[in-house]
Amino acid sequence: MNDFDLLLNKDALSRDDLMYLLSVKGEERARLFAHAAFIKEQYVGNKVYFRGLIEFSNICSKNCYYCGIRRENKNTHRYNLSDDEILEAARFAYESGYGSVAIQGGELESEFFTSRIEHLLREIKKLSDGKLGITLSVGEQSPEVYKRWFEAGAHRYLLRIESSSRELYYKIHPHDDIHRFERRLQGLYDLKAAGYQVGTGVMIGLPFQTLGDLADDLLFMKAFDIDMCGMGPYIEHADTPLWQYRDQLLPLAERLDLAFKMIALLRILMKDINIVAATALQAIDPAGREKALKIGSNIIMPNITPGTYRNDYKLYENKPCTDENAPDCKNCLEARIHIAGSEIGYDIWGDSAHFKKRTGQDLSPEDQK
């Protein structure tokens, strides 16, 4: 075993180790990806689990500098799906054997919003006879709200920190009371306390970001002991403040390569978590999501938002699949996943093996038979 193999097989990778591995090229890059693929096969297998993605609203109270649906973007056409439209999308997921849905929208906090999500969760459980798993991704809320939604049927929650660096966080967010770094982090602890499978993630290739920042992100996720991760390359949007720094960015191909390395390294660091193959990968490379599946990802989120709304949930430029309807997306992904050599886990929640080990809980109905 040579020095590079010894590095890959270390019990604990240091910050310097991770920075080095994020910079490898050529043969070492290929060996990094091969090792991550081996770890994936050993710990989570070859199955890919679907989360039918319902982007139900692009109305947001936040004003993040990178995001196309930020509050102050006047060029965005705002929309809010009706409850019936959301439930019909969930019914499509159930009848298509997706196993789970992911409900995602702009960040809002109010009793009306809380009650609406709570009602939708109960209705989705009812229409699927409790068989659809549910992930939420609707931002920062109070501990009480997280608990209400958990009791109503949500069991996974994705709250992306975008960067574990406080300094970088405030370069990509306003420094005010509704964009507090400390509250973002506290949200992860509150979600864990409420009983959720907890997911987070970061953007890769941001302005001002260093390899050290990305290494710290990986170490943060390991230390927090996350159950799942959704991360992808930063893609600039013309209607955001960060657009002015576009000339300082890495080329898209290099951001994509860094994203693949982050996925591979997270799989090596956290062998049994769930890792999403993010749609943003496909925005740069048409085969980006399939490539991610080969080196560590095991979750895909087919977009089942009604087609007329898809182009309005535009967090970044060149978002793929906005001209497809839900059946088109399903057929396309089935073909892509099989080409990538993976198997789709239909009618299965595909819960995080790490969560099961961490808590001793098995919440999914297929595991309780």
**8 Å CB contact between 120 and 80:** no
Structural tokens at position 161: 């920190």
**2: which DSSP letter?**
-
Structural tokens at position 3: 């020095």
**8 Å CB contact between 109 and 183:** no
What confidence score (pLDDT) does residue 323 get? 58
Q: What's the pLDDT band for 369 if we cut at 50, 70, 90? A: very low
Structural tokens at position 190: 């509150």
Tell me, what amino acid is at 206?
L
Element (H, E) at 33: helix 26-43
Residues 183-194 have a mean pLDDT of: 98
The 10s digit of each residue's pLDDT in 115-140 is 999 999 999 999 999 999 999 999 99
Spatial CB neighbours of 9, under 8 Å, sequence gap ≥ 6:
1
Residue 117 backbone phi and psi in degrees, to 5 = -60, -40
* pLDDT > 90 fraction of the chain, expressed in percent and rounded: 86
Q: What's the pLDDT band for 319 if we cut at 50, 70, 90? A: low
**8 Å CB contact between 170 and 208:** no
What confidence score (pLDDT) does residue 366 get? 62
Mean of pLDDT over the chain:
93
Residues 330-348 have a mean pLDDT of: 85
Domain boundaries, the chain: 13-367
Q: What's the pLDDT band for 328 if we cut at 50, 70, 90? A: low
Identify the CA nearest to 340 among candidates 297, 302, 301: 297
What confidence score (pLDDT) does residue 308 get? 72
Residue 190 backbone phi and psi in degrees, to 5 = -65, -40
Residues 278-292 have a mean pLDDT of: 94
Query: How many angstroms separate the Cα of 172 from the Cα of each of 3, 140, 179, 240, 293?
Result: 38, 17, 10, 10, 29
Q: Is the pLDDT of residue 285 over 50?
A: yes
What SS3 class is residue 303? strand
The 10s digit of each residue's pLDDT in 257-268 is 999 999 999 999
What confidence score (pLDDT) does residue 314 get? 64
Sign of CA dihedral 51, 162, 236, 270: negative
Residues 193-206 have a mean pLDDT of: 98
Q: Spell 287-305 as b/e; 16+ CB within 10 A means b.
A: ebbbbbbbbbbbbbbbbbb
What confidence score (pLDDT) does residue 320 get? 64
Q: Is the pLDDT of residue 296 over 70?
A: yes
What confidence score (pLDDT) does residue 361 get? 84
> What homologous superfamily does CATH list for 13-367?
Aldolase class I (3.20.20.70)
Ramachandran class of 326: left when φ > 0, alpha when ψ lies in -120 to 50, beta otherwise: alpha
Q: Is the pLDDT of residue 96 over 50?
A: yes
Q: Is the pLDDT of residue 322 over 90?
A: no
Greatest distance between any 2 Cα atoms in the chain: 60
Residues 84-97 have a mean pLDDT of: 96
Tell me, what amino acid is at 62?
K
What confidence score (pLDDT) does residue 15 get? 98
Query: How many angstroms separate the Cα of 343 from the Cα of each of 40, 98, 272, 294, 334?
Result: 14, 13, 17, 12, 9
